Amino acid sequence: NAGVTQTPKFQVLKTGQSMTLQCAQDMNHEYMSWYRQDPGMGLRLIHYSVGAGITDQGEVPNGYNVSRSTTEDFPLRLLSAAPSQTSVYFCASSYGGAPGTQYFGPGTRLLVL
Amino acid sequence: KQEVTQIPAALSVPEGENLVLNCSFTDSAIYNLQWFRQDPGKGLTSLLLIQSSQREQTSGRLNASLDKSSGRSTLYIAASQPGDSATYLCAVPYGGATNKLIFGTGTLLAVQP
């Protein structure tokens, strides 16, 4: 198994541009989530999904959209990039029930100029 | 609102020393608690997950304990090695979904050879 994969690894955007961060998992996990990690702020939940077709907002959802059309994929869309969205983005997945161990991808580093 | 705190923020120890990392949470109604390791520029790797009904979990030189009544968890690392150098994060689920995690800001551990 490849586990949780994320693309791209690094991206530079200009303010106002849009882009999609890709996340895929091959473990047949029901649950998937997106986090951002910022210095001094730790990891914060952006959006999450408990199954195909079901998504909900986390702690910091503004400026981001998600969809979950398949079990395997959970893309994160930046609608109009802002410098405040400069961060490292992590995707995670897990089975729906106990124990709930979360498996993380390697991350995408995003720089918005 | 659940808050997770990790003290100390940074720790430097000589190789071979036993050490304890601390994690505190304000709401004791947790489903589980997970400890992660993060190497520089990398994603998170799950180390141990303790269910709310458990008191501790062990994996090799690592032992994690959970005291819900006091809102505390500790990660004990025995016979530390330079390869243990990393940031250690604890996280608890909130809001009824096990993939909605609140993270502490981590403890940066340096093990000196």
Residue B82 tokens read as 């330079």
Instruction: Give Cα B12 to chain centroid, integer Å.
Output: 16
Other CB atoms within a 10 A radius of the CB of residue B42 amount to: 13
Per-residue pLDDT at A77: 98
A contact set with B (CB within 8 A): 4, 31-33, 35, 40-45, 48, 50, 58, 90, 92-94, 96, 98-107
Determine the average pLDDT of the residues in A88-111: 92
Q: In whole angstroms, what is the distance from residue B96 CA to residue B85 CA?
A: 33
Which of A5, A3, A1, A25 lies closest to A106, judged by CA? A5
Give the C-alpha separation, B99 to A50, whole Å. Answer: 8
Rounded Cα distance, B70 and B26, in Å: 9
Over residues B1-53, the pLDDT tens digits come to: 899 999 999 999 999 999 999 999 999 989 899 999 999 999 999 999 999 99
Alpha carbons within 13 angstroms on the beta-carbon side of residue B8 total: 9
Residues in A closer than 8 angstroms to B52, CB to CB, are none
pLDDT at A58: 94
Q: Which of the two residues, A34 and A1, has the higher pLDDT score? A: A34
Does the structure show a pLDDT above 90 at A99? no
For residue range B40-97, what is the model confidence (pLDDT) as tens digits? 999 999 999 999 999 999 999 999 999 999 999 999 999 999 999 999 999 999 877 7
Which pLDDT score, from 0 to 100, does residue A1 have?
Answer: 77
Q: What is the pLDDT of residue A12?
A: 98
The model's pLDDT over A27-78, given as tens digits with 9 standing for 90+, comes to 999 999 999 999 888 899 999 999 999 999 999 999 999 999 999 999 999 9
Q: Identify the pLDDT of residue A91.
A: 98
Q: Are residues B97 and A48, on separate chains, in Cβ contact within 8 Å?
A: yes
Write down the pLDDT at residue A40. 83
pLDDT at B98 over 90: no
pLDDT tens digit sequence for A3-26: 999 999 999 999 999 999 999 999
Can you give the pLDDT at residue B39? 96
C-alpha B42/C-alpha A25 separation (Å) is: 17
* Residue B111 burial (10 A CB sphere; 0-12, 13-18, 19+): buried
Distance from B68 to chain A by nearest Cα, in Å?
17
Contact A61, A70 (CB under 8 A): no
Buried b or exposed e, range A40-49, using 16+ CB within 10 angstroms = eebbbbbbbb
Chain B positions contacting chain A at CB under 8 Å are 31-32, 34, 36, 42-46, 49, 51, 89, 91, 93, 97-106
